[in-house]
Amino acid sequence: MVIRYTCGKCASVLKISDDLTGTDGKCPKCKAKFKVPAATPATGDTAKDDAPVDSPADVAAPEHPEETELDRAVAELIDVPTEVTAQVDLSAMEEFEPNSGHEAEIPAAGRTAVIPEPEAPKPSVAELMRAHEESQKKKAALKKKDKGSLEAAAVAADVMTAGTAASALTRTYDKKRSSDSDAAPLTREERRQAEQRDAAISYAKKAVPALAGMLVFGYFLFRWAFAAPLPDLEYVTGVVTRENNPLVGVVVRFAPLPTAGGEALENATPSEGITKADGSYVLFYDPDNAGVLPGVHEVTISTSSGAVYPMATQDQKKTVSSDSRTFNFNL
């Protein structure tokens, strides 16, 4: 016969073989433990058959010396097998789910009902937070360790680089020194002095051009700051000949004279020019500006060594103006 047992905790109805009467069982759904009760008579009130049994002491053992026609009819109505269920493997037992159409049969092997163990409880929020904090601490420690390893590797690389550079410089000096078969190897002090000398030479090669550029810039800046404004000038040219042949390389000089009232001209700077191969010349007020101050000038023509050529009286003084700017001389 089959024992119909209703779980007192989740109200699930289980069908259990009567061979397991008195053994320990466990509800497949709620995992509640119970004692398998004794089988109840098939006849009688149906509500009594479906009532849960809390313990085997509550239900008396059935007494059915003979199975009647009424018993068989009741068994067919409640779908209870009339024969004892065959022995099955405990591992093939399925969990019972109410209203699903599936029933869990509890075998009689070993006289103990084996129910699957409940699943492990899910961790709480506090446990998850603690696990997260621990993982973050481990990650931070690993990062700190990796950072320290990288810094140590960088320091080691710098030391190795410095040592390699020093070794290369030592080998270079030793090679230079060994070119002379009679020379002894360089001592540490000699190497240090050689390094200082090379460093000074390298610095001088870089510093001298920079210093020269600064001096040139300062010179032009000084000239621009303290240069007097350029006066109005007249562009004067001409040709110098002697016996109708051009004179080459002679210096023509126009020196401004005071005015008729005896007042000296402002910025009274002489203008000079040197004749070319054809005897022509151009007068310059300064090396950068061509021209002559307007007014009366004393004219002298001399060689590059300073010897002055004799000139006619009418050629010794010339008046420069916007209408008179070309002067030819025949010595």
- What is the distance between the alpha carbons of residues 325 and 149, in angstroms, rounded to a whole number? 87
Question: How confident is the model over 92-138, as pLDDT tens digits?
Answer: 444 444 444 444 444 444 444 555 555 667 778 788 888 888 888 88
Note the pLDDT of residue 161: 57
pLDDT category of residue 162 using cuts at 50, 70 and 90: low
Phi, psi torsion values for 131, nearest 5 degrees: -65, -40
pLDDT, greater one: 176 or 16: 16
Question: How confident is the model over 254-290, as pLDDT tens digits?
Answer: 999 887 765 666 668 899 999 999 999 999 998 889 9
- What is the distance between the alpha carbons of residues 11 and 99, in angstroms, rounded to a whole number? 11
Contacts 24+ apart (CB under 8 A), 226-233: 228/267, 230/285, 230/289, 231/266, 231/267, 231/293, 232/293, 232/294, 233/285, 233/289, 233/290, 233/291, 233/292, 233/293, 233/294
- For 252, residues 6+ apart whose C-beta sits below 8 A from its C-beta are 238, 240, 272, 273, 274, 275, 281, 283, 299, 300, 301, 329
**Are 20 and 106 contacting, i.e. CB atoms less than 8 angstroms apart?**
yes
Q: Which two tokens stand for residue 219?
A: 């010179």
Note the pLDDT of residue 145: 79
Q: Which two tokens stand for residue 105?
A: 């049969």
Question: How confident is the model over 60-92, as pLDDT tens digits?
Answer: 444 444 555 555 554 554 444 444 445 545 554
* The residue to which tokens 């010396």 are assigned: 65
In this structure, the strands spanning 280-282 and 237-242 are antiparallel
Question: How confident is the model over 32-67, as pLDDT tens digits?
Answer: 888 888 877 654 344 444 444 444 444 444 444 455
pLDDT category of residue 228 using cuts at 50, 70 and 90: low
- For 30, residues 6+ apart whose C-beta sits below 8 A from its C-beta are 7, 9, 10, 12
